[in-house]
A and B are shown apart, each in its own frame.
Chain A
Amino acid sequence: MKNYLRGILKKNEFYLFMIMVLMVIVMSAINPNFGTLENGFDILRGTTFIGICSMGFLVVLITGGTDISFTATATVAQYIMALLMVSNPNIPVVFVILVPMVIGAVLGSVNALLINRLKVPVIIITIAMLNTYYGAIQFFSEGEWLYNFPEWFADFPRILLITFKNEDGVAYGLTSLTAIWILVALVTSVLLRFTMLGRKIYALGGNQTAAGREGIHVNRIRIFAHSFLGLIAGIGAIVHAMVTQTAAPNAIVGQEFNAVAAVVLGGASIAGGGGSVLGTLLGVLLIATLKNGLTVMGVPAYWHQVFIGLTLVISISVTAIREKMAKKNAGGINVES
């Protein structure tokens, strides 16, 4: 039991959780409106899109790769889905849901194929692909916004799985969209922890040469990871459109670094091989809570980025210092004997 507790103390997730608790206490003390259940559900709903995408990004990051083009992928997937709904309001629901997921997966796999083939720095390829996808959708859409979606598309996100009422009698609670996020997180968690595929993803990120020697098909794993991110971005695109009830070609791109920040804050290693779903969830929630808290306290929006940036710097410094301390304590020669 003692060992178990000590194990928890060593975990990054524990520190994130404590920081969050601290933040909630401080912000609630400053503004009582912050610490309400309603505001809590509001935060969850507001960060669902980033929360979903960060699960996919986590998987790619663990392989030792990166892919920031997922916002462009989501834009393409969302716009095509919206076009389908606008041009034919009676289109089957299955279609509306599957199309963006498939588009996402295909675009993700294109990235992976390029990475496997070209063997140039991954970040460059995905920046290039972000611009390609984004530019193409701008061109073909001519920047036009789409709305007037079928009724079910507007109704679905209003479904509450857990319902409460505030003093004005307005219902609030856990929305269907947040439930989708939780589902995506669960699937990702099972994938990473309990499937061979997931363990191969960690192995690849840990040591690519060794992964090859063990007979892991490195290229296939990479294709899977990027397609998975694409597919998740497709799901994110649906959720995003359900929240806004529009499809705008310029609404999503630019948010990719929020997901990157959340995943890194959640303790995933930039170099690959490390990271967890729980950590990522906490990272997403921490950033969302911080943003929301600053809004509730009336801090101008421009300052939000500054605070998020500082939070990242501090969290990374703490990790680095802890590692350094651990190394320092491990070494040494007993000169007294």
Chain B
Amino acid sequence: MMSEKTIELKNISKVYPGVRALDTINFEIGRGEVHCLVGQNGCGKSTLIKIMSGVEKPEPGAEIYINGELCKHLNSHISMSKGVQVIYQDLSLFSNLTVKENIAFRDNIRKKSLFVNWKEVDKIARKALELIDVDIDINAKVGTLSIAQQQLVEIAKALTGDLSLLILDEPTASLTGKEVRSLFRVITNLKNKGISILFVSHKLNEIFEIAEKVTVMRDGKIIGDFTPSELDHDRLVYLMTGMRELYKQPKPIGNDYEVVMEARNLSKNKNYKDISFKLKKGEILGITGLLGSGRTELALTLFGMNPYDSGELIFEGKAVKWTSNREACAAGVGYVPEDRLNCGLIMNQSIEDNLTITTIKSYLSRFGLINSGERLKALNTKVKELGIKFSMPEAAVKTLSGGNSQKVVLAKWLLVNPKVLILDEPTIGIDVIAKNSIHTLIKSLAENGMSIIMISDEVQEVLQNCHRILVMSKGRIVFEFTPDQITDKELLEKFNLA
């Protein structure tokens, strides 16, 4: 007789030196239930996942039941063999191997056989992909797939064993709207097979869409379990942070403000076509549209890294055709890339080096050596201004949280004091509070005269923070509006952005 609960945790605490990461938690997931776990960074979500997957051991006195069975000494092998599988944000795939081998790898290891049975590998892979009703070429190398496809491969891999609980850690962080849809379809599919899903996400609108139950965590405690109907966006944010969300629309800009940047019929083959817009001083211009709508390609053009084929780009009254970002930088354009880990920061270098990299030449002494006092002064003013939290300026950037590392990227551009700052997905993968403080910062920059282009696929983000919004699709601007003209729901439906 199968238990009604897939997993049940009683009296779970976890203490790390100096921190009580989890404080006497009781938590359960029903069979075939899609359960969402939400909370800010550092609230204990990850620790809780680690305890369920057996990577971390709880303090004595805890009880863990998997499928109704008490597991006294849970480790990652036992947890996995009992059907608890975690799909980490940084997927556990071998990009140099084929899809089928990745899917069957765990099964092959489990069998402890000496030789690989390639026919069997084929069969296992096909069966697993069939279970989630996904069509991917099993002979393709995983490295050639999109992130979304890789995620599906990972899910298929989890299905090769006895799966009873699938834990997805921020699975949608780098997916397009359409890909999220197909992931949700797979999740529903698994649910119908009696598999429980634990879904961790910062994207609140997704939670309302997929969850049957929502558990909110804050400071190592569980605030409560809710059904989505009991919650709305504001209430959820309140439960997670203990604060009421205070949105302020940006201050309106006058009609007489000068135009800083203007695009006239900008086109580039296979990138975008007939792009025209005007950006005024102190204006926050939002650009939204699905991944692959050409928005990032356009942003790179405005930053000089992706020269346009035809049309005109006018910056401060002069037609420009930048061929490198050095020229754009010198003219006064800054760019915060979407992929901050790979393009925005040098992860192994210190916070100080990263933050001052844009302005390093201005700290040179007469002999061409770096004046470290000057540099530290510049660093400290920005750290204070942006409220960046870190142990010491010499620490590597990779030790920072998502919110703080994004602030470092912003700070390095603010040191240049650009006239136009382009932000590509400025709050991707960042928790609610940090997001809010970045939004506040953006608005105050605009008030002080900086023009901002904010690209985001989160419709709510552009609606709440921009003066004017452009919708892009298939490389073209298909709609231009101000936030008071349309609600987020209408916008989503109109352009099928979800």
Contact = CB atoms under 8 A, between A and B. Distances in A.
Partners in one complex: yes
Interface of A: 193-200, 202-203, 205-207, 209-211, 213-216, 269, 273-274, 331-337
A283 B94 CA distance: 26
A132 B292 CA distance: 55
A216 B105 CA distance: 10
Given A196-B108, A196-B109, A207-B93, A335 B475 contact: yes
Contact of A196 (B113, B270, B294): B113
Contacts of B93: 207, 210
Given A210-B92, A215-B109, A194 B116 contact: yes
Interface centre among A194, A335, A337 (most CB of B within 10 A): A335
B297 A333 contact: yes
Interface string B73-94: 0000100000000001011111
9 contacts: A195-B115, A203-B105, A206-B94, A206-B97, A273-B95, A331-B270, A332-B271, A335-B272, A335-B475
Nearest to B55: A213
Contact of A332 (B90, B113, B118, B270): B270
Given A203-B97, A211-B94, 18 more contacts: A194-B115, A195-B114, A195-B115, A196-B113, A196-B114, A199-B101, A200-B109, A202-B94, A209-B92, A214-B106, A215-B106, A274-B96, A332-B270, A332-B271, A333-B294, A334-B474, A334-B475, A335-B271
Contacts of B101: 199
Nearest to A62: B96
A206 B113 contact: no
Q: Which of B93, B94, B97 has the most A CB atoms < 10 Å from its CB?
A: B94
A214 B270 contact: no
B218 interface: no
Contacts, number: 87
Interface of B is mostly: loop
B338 to A, nearest CB: 15
B92 A335 contact: no
A202 B77 CA distance: 22
B273 interface: yes
A196 B97 CA distance: 13
A206 B96 contact: yes
Contacts of A215: 77, 106, 109
B476 interface: yes
Contacts of B88: 213
A199 B108 contact: yes
B116 A214 contact: no
A337 B474 contact: yes
B104 to A, nearest CB: 10
Contact of A207 (B95, B115, B269, B297): B95
B116 A199 contact: yes
Interface string B260-279: 00000001011111000000
Nearest to A64: B96
Contacts of B273: 335-336
Residue among B77, B92, B113, B114 with the highest chain A CB neighbour number at 10 A: B92
A269 B77 CA distance: 32
Nearest to A190: B115
Given A196-B115, A214-B105, A216-B109, A203 B474 contact: no
* Of B101, B115, B118, B293, most A-chain CB atoms within 10 Å: B115
Interface centre among A205, A206, A209 (most CB of B within 10 A): A206
A335 B294 contact: yes
Shortest 3 CB-CB distances between A and B: which pairs? Answer: A332-B270, A273-B96, A335-B475
A333 B270 contact: yes
Given A196-B114, A196-B115, A207 B92 contact: yes
A214 B109 contact: yes
Contacts of B77: 215
Nearest to B121: A199
A223 B55 CA distance: 26
A6 to B, nearest CB: 13
Contacts of B292: 333
A200 B96 CA distance: 12
Nearest to A197: B114
Tell me which of A193, A207, A213 has the highest count of chain B C-beta atoms within 10 A of its own C-beta: A207
A195 to B, nearest CB: 6
A300 B92 CA distance: 52
A205 B105 CA distance: 15
A38 to B, nearest CB: 40
Contacts of B108: 196, 199
Nearest to A203: B94
A9 to B, nearest CB: 16
A202 B108 CA distance: 14
Nearest to A273: B96
A335 B105 contact: no
Contacts of B90: 209
Interface string B102-142: 00011011000111101000000000000000000000000
B150 to A, nearest CB: 11
A259 B97 CA distance: 25
Nearest to A326: B144
A195 B90 CA distance: 28
